[in-house]
Amino acid sequence: MIDLLIFDLDGTLIDSKLDLAHSVNAARAHMGLGPLDLALISKYVGHGAPVLMRRAMGPEISDVQVAEALEFFLEHYRQHAFDRTRPYPGVKESLERLHAADKRLAVLTNKPVELSRKIMEGLTLAPLFFQVYGGNSFAAKKPDPAGVRQLMTEAGIGRDRTMMVGDTSVDVETARNAGVPVCGVKYGFQPASFENAPPDLLVDRMEQLADWVLEGCFT
């Protein structure tokens, strides 16, 4: 029985590809560089904004320039985080089912925590979650297990009744480091990353996870 579900944000609960990509390319334009392809930017997401911009700017760009690009990116993204970002189909309904069944829901993302909470509130998902932690909530980001351990402590729920849910190998590694099972979603940013880090459960839609948690079966 799973009583605590810890979700990644981008690529798992919300489709933020376009807003992230537009902010990355706006930062590149600010630094005098051309745009990158959406698919390539999606592959860079998952390790937090500093790593995203380091990869997006390329190895020839200095750390000072990357820092300037990161500052521009974050400010641009704060202003445009809701332009096209929406929950994936079926996500809100599935979360409502889990919440109504008294499952404890939390978010653990490498996105900055203030921005993550703003997005959750703006998309009216926040009331379903007892906690939202971001990449700057702890000394280390995912795949460090500190966030998972803190959420289990706050919920009073052990590893055997906790599950991580995400769209990349980062989430699988986080779960393994914390000693909890993990569910991967195929519709996210980097489903190919599961080839080298397979999750315990793999779903096409969030409804399938809700069915499995609540009814012990898939649809």
Return the pLDDT at 216.
84
Tens-level pLDDT at each residue, the chain (219 residues): 999 999 999 999 999 999 999 999 999 999 999 999 999 999 898 888 999 999 999 998 999 999 999 999 999 999 999 999 999 999 999 999 999 999 999 999 999 999 999 999 999 999 999 999 999 999 999 999 999 999 999 999 999 999 999 999 999 999 999 999 999 999 999 899 999 999 999 999 999 999 999 998 766
Question: Cβ contacts of residue 136 below 8 Å, gap of 6+?
Answer: 112, 113
Phi, psi of 218 (to 5 degrees): -105, 155
Residue 182 CA to residue 33 CA, distance in Å, equals: 38
Kindly report whether the global pTM for this prediction surpasses the value 0.95. Answer: no
Q: Which of 8, 10, 19, 171 is catalytic?
A: 8
Is 10 considered catalytic here?
no
